[in-house]
Structure 1
Amino acid sequence: MSLANPIMQLQISLGIPLDDRTGSLWSRKEKRKWFLSLLCGTCLVYATRTSIPLLMPIISKEKHWSKPESGIILSSFFWGYTLTQVISGYISDRIGGQKVLWISALGWSVTTFFMPEIIQSFSNDQTSVLLIAVIRMINGAFQGMHFPSMISLISQRLHEAERASFFSLLTSGSALGTLLTGSLGSYLLENYNWMTVFRILGGMSLAWTTLLSYHILPFKERTISTKSNTSYTLPWLKLLSKPPFWSCVIGHACQNNCFFVLLSWMPTYFHDVFPEVKIWVVNVIPWLSMLPCTFLGKVLSERIIKAGYSVTVTRKIIQTVCFVTEIGSLLFLTKVKSFQSAVLCLALIIGGSGFHNNAIAVNPSDLAPKHAGSVFGLMNTVGAIPGFLGVYFSGYILHMTHSWPVVFSLIAVIDTLGCVTYILFGSGQAII
Structure 2
Amino acid sequence: MADKAPSDAKSGCNVFLLEPENLSRDRAAAEEPEDPNRWPRHLARKWTLALFFGTCLLYCARMAMPICAVSMATTFHWTKIETGLVLGGFFWGYCLTQILGGYISDKVGGEQILFLSAVSWSLITAATPLLAHLGSHTVALMTGARFLMGMLQGVFFPSLASLCSQRVLERERAILMSTLNSGCSLGTLLLGGFGSMLLVNHSWEAVFYCTGVLSGLWALTVWLCFLKGNVSVSRMQSTEYSQRTSTPWLILLKNSSVWAMIIAHMCACSTGYTLLSWLPTYFEETFPHASKLVFNVFPWLVAVPSAFLGGYLSNYLITQGYSVASVRKIMQSLAMGGSSMFIMLLSRPVTFSSAVTLVSVAMGMSILSSCGVSLNVQDLTPTCAGALYGFMNMLGAFMGLVLVSLSGYLIDVTLSWTTVFAVIVLVNSTGLFVFLVFGDARRVDLHVYSPLIVI
**3-state SS of 1:114 partner:** helix
Please say if 1:216 is aligned against 2:227: yes
Change (3 A) 1:114 1:396: closer
Q: Is the 8 A contact 2:109 2:236 kept in 1?
A: no
For residues 337 and 244 of structure 2, what CA distance do their matches in structure 1 show? Answer: 43
What is the match of residue 240 of structure 1?
253
2:383 partner letter: K
Please say if 1:291 is aligned against 2:291: no
Q: Is the 8 A contact 1:255 1:415 kept in 2?
A: yes
For residues 306 and 234 of structure 2, what CA distance do their matches in structure 1 show? Answer: 35
Match of 2:376 among 339, 343, 363: 363
Once the two structures are superposed, what CA deviation does each residue of 1:26-70 show, in whole Å capped at 9, x if it has no partner?
122111110111011100111011111222232333334444433
Once the two structures are superposed, what CA deviation does each residue of 1:146-191 show, in whole Å capped at 9, x if it has no partner?
1001121122211222223212221111111111111111212222
Within-5 A mapping of 1:214-363: 214=224, 215-217=226-228, 219-225=230-236, 229=242, 232-363=245-376
Match of 1:188 among 198, 204, 211: 198
What is the match of residue 111 of structure 2?
98
What is the match of residue 402 of structure 1?
415
CA shift, 1:15, in A, is: 11
For residues 304 and 336 of structure 2, what CA distance do their matches in structure 1 show? Answer: 17
1:201 partner letter: T
For residues 187 and 160 of structure 1, what CA distance do their matches in structure 2 show? Answer: 41
What is the match of residue 88 of structure 1?
101
Change (3 A) 1:350 1:413: same
What is the match of residue 3 of structure 2?
none
CA shift, 1:21, in A, is: 4.9
For residues 272 and 185 of structure 1, what CA distance do their matches in structure 2 show? Answer: 18
32-41 vs 195-204, which moves further? 195-204
1:45 partner letter: L
1:212 partner letter: V
Please say if 1:150 is aligned against 2:189: no
Match of 1:388 among 384, 401, 406: 401
For residues 339 and 63 of structure 1, what CA distance do their matches in structure 2 show? Answer: 28
Match of 2:144 among 113, 134, 147: 134
1:139 partner letter: M
1:135 partner letter: A
Identity %: 37
1:386 partner letter: M
For residues 194 and 36 of structure 2, what CA distance do their matches in structure 1 show? Answer: 41
253-262 vs 221-230, which moves further? 221-230
What is the match of residue 17 of structure 2?
none
265-274 vs 286-295, which moves further? 265-274
Match of 1:376 among 379, 382, 389: 389
Give ranges in structure 1 of 5+ residues lacking alignment. 1-13
**3-state SS of 1:115 partner:** helix
Change (3 A) 1:430 1:20: farther
403-412 vs 224-233, which moves further? 224-233
CA shift, 1:426, in A, is: 0.7
Once the two structures are superposed, what CA deviation does each residue of 1:300-323 show, in whole Å capped at 9, x if it has no partner?
211211111110111011111122
2:194 partner letter: L
CA shift, 1:19, in A, is: 10
**3-state SS of 2:442 partner:** coil
1:184 partner letter: F
What is the match of residue 214 of structure 2?
204
What is the match of residue 424 of structure 1?
437
Change (3 A) 1:176 1:59: same
What is the match of residue 72 of structure 1?
85
Please say if 1:43 is aligned against 2:48: no
For residues 200 and 141 of structure 2, what CA distance do their matches in structure 1 show? Answer: 28
For residues 151 and 280 of structure 2, what CA distance do their matches in structure 1 show? Answer: 25
Q: Is the 8 A contact 2:94 2:153 kept in 1?
A: yes
Q: Is the 8 A contact 2:270 2:401 kept in 1?
A: no
Q: Is the 8 A contact 1:20 1:156 kept in 2?
A: no
2:308 partner letter: F
1:221 partner letter: S
CA shift, 1:249, in A, is: 1.1
**3-state SS of 2:321 partner:** coil
For residues 375 and 309 of structure 2, what CA distance do their matches in structure 1 show? Answer: 15
CA shift, 1:247, in A, is: 0.7
For residues 68 and 413 of structure 2, what CA distance do their matches in structure 1 show? Answer: 26
Match of 1:179 among 172, 189, 192: 189
CA shift, 1:213, in A, is: 1.3
Change (3 A) 1:15 1:36: closer
Q: Is the 8 A contact 1:19 1:156 kept in 2?
A: no
For residues 141 and 358 of structure 2, what CA distance do their matches in structure 1 show? Answer: 38
Change (3 A) 1:375 1:194: same
Q: Is the 8 A contact 1:336 1:342 kept in 2?
A: no
Q: Is the 8 A contact 1:19 1:226 kept in 2?
A: no
For residues 46 and 268 of structure 1, what CA distance do their matches in structure 2 show? Answer: 18
Once the two structures are superposed, what CA deviation does each residue of 1:86-114 show, in whole Å capped at 9, x if it has no partner?
11100100011111111111110111122
Change (3 A) 1:197 1:327: closer
- Give the TM-score, by structure 1 length: 0.90
1:80 partner letter: G
What is the match of residue 130 of structure 2?
117
